[in-house]
Amino acid sequence: MTHAKIRHVLILTGDCAEALEVMYPLQRLKEAGFAPEIATPNGKVVRSVVHDFEPEFETYTEKPGYRIAADLSFGMVKADRYEALVIPGGRAPEYIRNEPHALEIVEHFMKNKKPVAAICHAALLLVAGGLCKGRKMTCYPALKPDVERAGGIFSDAETVVDGNLVTARAWPDHPSFMREFMKKLI
């Protein structure tokens, strides 16, 4: 009797992550038979938020989202164990980019050309890690100046694939974003 190899995918996030940008990849990966694990700065429950796009607002609005259990802390992550990385957006990337372990994790995946899915504000981790130079990518459009100043090539498209990096603007782009990311895993 042969046993199928467990294929681990890391989701790197924290409080105020966009709920849909954590839950949709988490469930899609499970559905496809992967073993996703959520890492947060301290390995505690994530208090996610819901960002919505309302016509009378100049930017997105924010409401409380789901509580999502974490599996481990950033310090516990052994990056070699995982074959891919998902970085959800929301406000979490804004502060987790200041965590040295987070930057080391992202750098491991990018330098080893493992699949990386980064959506919305996840670009802030790529910028902070100096990992945008020469890379074509998309993100939440308000981050275009950050990406370009970091040497990235911004494209206002629902999903952009550049080698191992798959990026999207925000949760409305999930269908194309996850379709392209899943191609990297199969």
Catalytic residues: 121
Between the alpha carbon of residue 27 and those of residues 36, 57, 120, 143, 183, the distances in Å are 9, 30, 18, 27, 16
Please compute, for residue 185, the number of CA atoms within 13 A of its CA located in the half-sphere on the CB side.
Answer: 28
Q: Number of helices (H) and strands (E), helices first, in the chain?
A: 6, 11
Determine the Cα–Cα distance for residues 85 and 117; give it in Å rounded to an integer.
6
